[in-house]
Amino acid sequence: MHNFYTAVYDIVAQIPEGRVTSYGAIAKALGAAKSSRMVGYAMNLSHTHRPGLPAHRVVNRNGLLTGRHHFASPTQMQERLESEGVNVKKDQVMNFKLLFWDPLVEITL
């Protein structure tokens, strides 16, 4: 069992609606700050490991929707975010700093 992926999904599942976080932040919350790529990798497989996960709330450190091409539809990520009240312009989350949800700070164990 890959505890790492499971831990990633557990954190992603706790991202509140209308909020976003980054791969690096999740990696850091897991104590593996250097494994941000693995977080992205885990998200790529999330559809099989944990279907229904709000993967659209995870963006890169710039608030860019880098993973949108991996969704069922390239526009689904943006559509879902906007549906939650998150404004997206040119694949970039508006007000990203304000909407950013840091698992290290805001997580409730």
Partner DNA sequence: CAAGTGACTACAG
Partner DNA sequence: ACTGTAGCCACTT
Q: Determine the longest span between alpha carbons in the chain, in angstroms.
A: 38
| Contact residue for DNA among 7, 14, 24, 84 (CB under 7 A) | 24
Structure tokens at 18: 């209308």
Closest distance of CB 92 from DNA, Å: 11
User: How many residues belong to the site for DNA (CB under 7 A)?
Assistant: 31
Structure tokens at 96: 């990203």
2 binds DNA (CB under 7 A): yes
- Tell me the C-alpha distance between 46 and 83, whole Å: 21
Burial class (CB in 10 A: 0-12, 13-18, 19+), 72: exposed
35 is a contact residue toward DNA (CB under 7 A)? yes
Minimum CB separation of residue 2 from DNA in Å reads 6
Q: Does 103 bind DNA (CB under 7 A)?
A: no
Spell out the residues 6+ positions from residue 95 whose beta carbon is closer than 8 angstroms to its own: 87
Which residues of this chain interact with DNA, rule CB under 7 A? 2, 4, 22-25, 32, 34-41, 43-44, 46-47, 55-56, 58, 60-62, 66-67, 69-71, 77
